[in-house]
Structure 1
Amino acid sequence: MSESSEHSGQGHTHGVVEEVKSLEHEAEEGASARTPAIVLSGVTLVVFAILLVVMAIAFTAYYLSK
């Protein structure tokens, strides 16, 4: 892997982190029309993650009890 490709990967990651921070600040401020969509997306991701964990536990318990 070349040195230039390593730096471009870090730049992309840095850009994503900055975008997330920008969206977080925008949602906290609450003055933007995009705020409900940002918050709803965040809540959806959290609920989906919790659902995946609960389903994994349920399926594991089911298969272990057989």
Structure 2
Amino acid sequence: MRWPITRDYRATLPASTLVYVRGAGHSIATPQPELYLTLIRNFLADRPLPLPDYAADAPPR
């Protein structure tokens, strides 16, 4: 997904959390299944996520 579209999601859903997973591409479920499961489980259990919220206006590098 292109960065401007991602930023539009953040603007539309201001209480959302954007987590950047380096090297994930479009989906993290296949290349990084353990991280994916941890993110989903922690989100559903209302526990802290293992990666920080990415709140910058510029795309991640």
TM-score if structure 2 supplies the norm length?
0.30
Could you say which structure has the higher helix fraction?
Answer: 1
Q: Give the structure-1-normalised TM-score.
A: 0.28
Q: Which has the larger radius of gyration?
A: 1
